[in-house]
Amino acid sequence: MSDQATKIVISDRLRECNSITKKIFCDFQNSGIRDVYIEPSDPRNVNDKVYVHNVENVHLVGPLCQDLALKNVANILLEEQGDYQCEDGYELAAKKASLESIPKNADKIYLDQCNISSLATENSLKLLTLLHSDIKEFNISAPFRNNSILNLKDSNIEILQKLIIEEGAAVAINSLKISHLASNGLLLKHVNITIRDSTFLNITKDSVITHEQSKISWVNFTGEYPLTGAEIKGSLNHCPMFLIICISLGLLFIVFLCCGIFGKWSNKCKSSQGTPTDQSVDGWILLEKAPNEGQDMKIHQNK
C-alpha cells in the first residue's frame, strides 16, 4: 500500500503527468511517490494510451481497456480484474518491470527485460513479444493463428505448460531456454517453424506434438528432443564421419548425433560413414555438436 495519505490515481491532473492527444505521459522519478493506480477511464473520455515511468508499484485496478506502457516499474500488481471483456482488447508493454501475471483483457503483450511469475491466459493473443525476460510459468491455452505474432528472443522459461501454434501465425523463436517442457506442451498444426540457438531441457516423450504436415527446423539447438516414429533429415555432409550410438533400454532408445567422431559402443551400437538420410528412430536425440552455419537439422514426425 502507498505511503501517501491519498491513493494516487493516474490522470492528467497530476503534476507528474501530461496529456497529449488522448495519451497520458507520467514520470515519477524523484517524486517520492511509490504507488500509483491505473483505474478504468470515464467511458466518455477514454485515453488511448497511458505511459508510466519510474515508480515502485503500479496497481492495475478493474477492467482496463486502454493501452499501457510501463517502464522501470518494480512491481505491476493486478487488482479486482472482474469479468468484463474489452471490445477490442488492449496492449500491455512493459520494460524493466516485474509482474505476477498478465491482465485479463490484454491481447497484445510486449515484455522487455521483465520478470513474470505466470504468463498465462485463456484469451487469444494477437501479439506476444518476449525479449531478455524470465518467465517462471508459460501457459497460453488459446492458439496463435490467423496473423497473430509470436516473438520469443533471448529469454528463459522455467516451465512451459502450453503453447499452440497453428497456420497463419508469424513465429520467431531465437535464443530461448526452456528448463522444463510439459507433456503436450508444444502443439503444432499446419505450420512450419524454425527454432534457432535455443536449449530445451527436461522434455518428456510427448512434450512436442506435430499434426498435419507440421515441421520444426532446429538451428544450433542444444539439449534433448524426444522423437516417436520420426525421420531425421540430416544436413551433415560437412562431417567426415557420422556416428549413431544406440542404447537399448526396453522400449527406449537413446541416440547421439556427433560430427567428426567414429567408433562403436557395445553390441547395440553401430557407426556409418557418409551422410545419413531418412533414418527412422524412436527415442531421444541429443545434438552434441550443432551443424555449421547455414546447415539445419530438421526433425519432423510421420503421421
pLDDT tens-place string over residues 190-210: 999 999 999 988 887 788 888
- Higher-pLDDT residue of 141 and 265 is 141
CA dist 63 and 56 (Å) reads: 22
- Please report the pLDDT score of residue 201 as a whole number: 86
**Segment 129-152, tens digit of pLDDT:** 999 999 999 999 999 999 999 999
User: Number of folded domains in the chain?
Assistant: 1
CA dist 242 and 263 (Å) reads: 9
- Supply angle C-alpha 26, 32, 35, rounded to 5: 65
For residue 255, give Cα distances in angstroms to 135, 145, 193, 243, 275: 31, 34, 23, 9, 16
Q: How confident is residue 6, by pLDDT bands cut at 50, 70 and 90?
A: low
| Percentage of the residues of the chain whose pLDDT score is greater than 90 | 47
Question: Is the per-residue pLDDT at 288 higher than 70?
Answer: no
First-to-last alpha carbon distance for the chain, in angstroms, is 55
Q: What is the mean pLDDT of residues 45-60?
A: 88
- Please report the pLDDT score of residue 75 as a whole number: 96
Whether 243 is in a domain gets the answer yes
Whether 281 is in a domain gets the answer yes
Whether 80 is in a domain gets the answer no
Domain span at residue 285 reads 225-303
Q: What is the mean pLDDT of residues 102-119?
A: 94
Whether 267 is in a domain gets the answer yes
Whether 254 is in a domain gets the answer yes
Q: What is the mean pLDDT of residues 72-87?
A: 81
CB neighbours (10 Å) of residue 185?
24
Average predicted confidence (pLDDT) for the chain:
75
Q: Any residues with CB less than 8 A from the CB of 176 and at least 6 apart, and which?
A: 152, 153, 154, 155, 156, 157, 195, 198, 199
Whether 231 is in a domain gets the answer yes
Question: Is the per-residue pLDDT at 24 higher than 90?
Answer: yes
Q: How confident is residue 168, by pLDDT bands cut at 50, 70 and 90?
A: very high
Q: How confident is residue 42, by pLDDT bands cut at 50, 70 and 90?
A: low
Q: What is the mean pLDDT of residues 165-192?
A: 94
Whether 279 is in a domain gets the answer yes
Q: How confident is residue 62, by pLDDT bands cut at 50, 70 and 90?
A: confident
- Higher-pLDDT residue of 273 and 90 is 90
| Percentage of the residues of the chain whose pLDDT score is greater than 70 | 68
Going by C-alpha positions, the residue among 67, 55, 66 that lies closest to residue 27 is 55
- Higher-pLDDT residue of 62 and 250 is 62
Whether 255 is in a domain gets the answer yes
